[in-house]
Amino acid sequence: MAATVESQPPCSVSPVESTNLMDLGEMPLPWRQALEAAVLNLDRDRLQQLLDEMLPSQAHLQAPLEACLKRFEYRRILRALSSLE
């Protein structure tokens, strides 16, 4: 996961959403790698499939990810993933 992400001005994301994205480290590495690939390829079908694969115990991550996808905030997801390295 060596994606380079440009700095972007903050958008209207609640502190809860930002915090929850930092919790992506709870997800298995292969899932995070698949998420990164889907974001980089702008593959919305694969992104939705990955969200659907999430367990109920990971529901706190699903809402912030869906919010980012709905608002096309792919860089926010990539920043969260790259911060885990």
* Cβ contact 21:74 at 8 Å: no
Assigned domain for 8 exists: no
Assigned domain for 56 exists: yes
Give the domain extent around 49: 15-82
pTM assigned to the model: 0.76
pLDDT band at 19 (very low <50, low <70, confident <90, very high): low
Number of domains in the chain: 1
Task: Report the alpha-carbon distance of residue 16 to residue 18 in Å, rounded.
Answer: 5
Assigned domain for 1 exists: no
Assigned domain for 19 exists: yes
Assigned domain for 5 exists: no
CA 21 centroid distance within chain: 6
Assigned domain for 7 exists: no
- 49-81 tens-digit pLDDT: 999 999 998 888 999 999 999 999 999 999 999
- Give the tokens for residue 37: 């690939």
